[in-house]
Amino acid sequence: MFSLHGKSALVTGAAGGIGRAVAERFIAAGARVVITDIVDGQGVADEIGARFLRMDVGSEDSVAEGLDRAHQELGPLDIVVNNAGVGDVGTSLADTPADAFERITRINQWGVFYGLKHAPAHMNDGGSIINTSSLAALIKMAGSGAYSASKAAVISLTRMAALELGHSGIRVNAVCPGYIDTALGSGDEGQILSEQFTALGRKGTPADLVGAFHFLASDESSYLTGQALVVDGGWSCGPSPQILETLLGSKTVG
């Protein structure tokens, strides 16, 4: 169960953070993996037993070429993870420069669009595509306007692609992480907010997430498509007992 033996995978934005952890898990489960990133990931690839290809997900040509090369090196792919992304500018919409909004949208939203557009031609029927969205797609916090919009679009694209690719047996799902301890999620606010807002009372780690990606990549999720799996320590359930205590002086209402 959950074996990825005989499967080949490509993970974007995998020189570090969540993408690297997902690639390592796939390799541990038996997959052959190509990691891609805009920065040099050859050292990471050597360390974890993957191949590395340079790819800028903000460029359609780069994504198309990267997928083509991965296909040439590994044969048709079974798993594609559109994971690369960048964080927010931390300003209100009124103060967000249009070029910053455009950059976030191009990488986080268009990057996933390019992956969904070009990956299927390089995949086996019955494959799995996983897009990294975010809890920010579902729960809005001031200062994350561009990021939240891009991640909500990722869920919309996930559902559309699931409908369009079902005839090939290719499943398309999204993972929506809460704050995760990576370069992108390393700020103090993620620590403080996660302690206060999650049911589990802590920030997540890449190790907390990889099981969700592994499940969605494996044949154990063979009837699951078009879904957004929220991995947020229970943040989206509602106000935590910690928050109630701060606001009401009691861990319960009523």
Ligand X SMILES: NC(=O)c1ccc[n+]([C@@H]2O[C@H](COP(=O)([O-])OP(=O)(O)OC[C@H]3O[C@@H](n4cnc5c(N)ncnc54)[C@H](O)[C@@H]3O)[C@@H](O)[C@H]2O)c1
- Closer residue to ligand X, CB minimum distance, 39 or 247: 39
Q: How far apart are CA 17 and CA 224, in angstroms?
A: 26
Asked whether position 129 contacts ligand X by CB under 6 A, the answer is no
Element holding 9 (H helix, E strand): strand 8-12
Q: Which of 10, 23, 130, 180 binds ligand X (CB under 6 A)?
A: 180
Tell me the CA distances in angstroms from 24 to 44, 52, 84, 122, 247, one per residue in order.
10, 13, 16, 22, 42
- 24 forms part of the interface with ligand X (CB under 6 A): no
Rounded to whole angstroms, how far apart are CA atoms 151 and 156?
9
Answer yes or no whether residue 15 interacts with ligand X by CB under 6 A.
Answer: yes
Report the residue number, 123 or 136, with the smaller CB distance to ligand X. Answer: 136
For the range 94-103, what are the long-range contacts, defined as Cβ-Cβ under 8 Å and sequence gap of 24 or more?
Answer: 96/145, 96/146, 100/146, 101/145, 101/146, 103/58
Beta strand pairing call for 32-37 and 8-12: parallel
- Asked whether position 17 contacts ligand X by CB under 6 A, the answer is yes
Q: Is 39 in the site for ligand X (CB under 6 A)?
A: yes
Contact between 161 and ligand X by CB under 6 A: the answer reads: no
Contact residue for ligand X among 107, 157, 210, 229 (CB under 6 A): 107
- The residues in 46-65 that bind ligand X, with binding defined as CB under 6 A, are 55-58
Binding site for ligand X (CB under 6 A): 12-13, 15-19, 37-39, 55-58, 83-86, 107, 132, 134, 177, 179-180, 182-185, 190
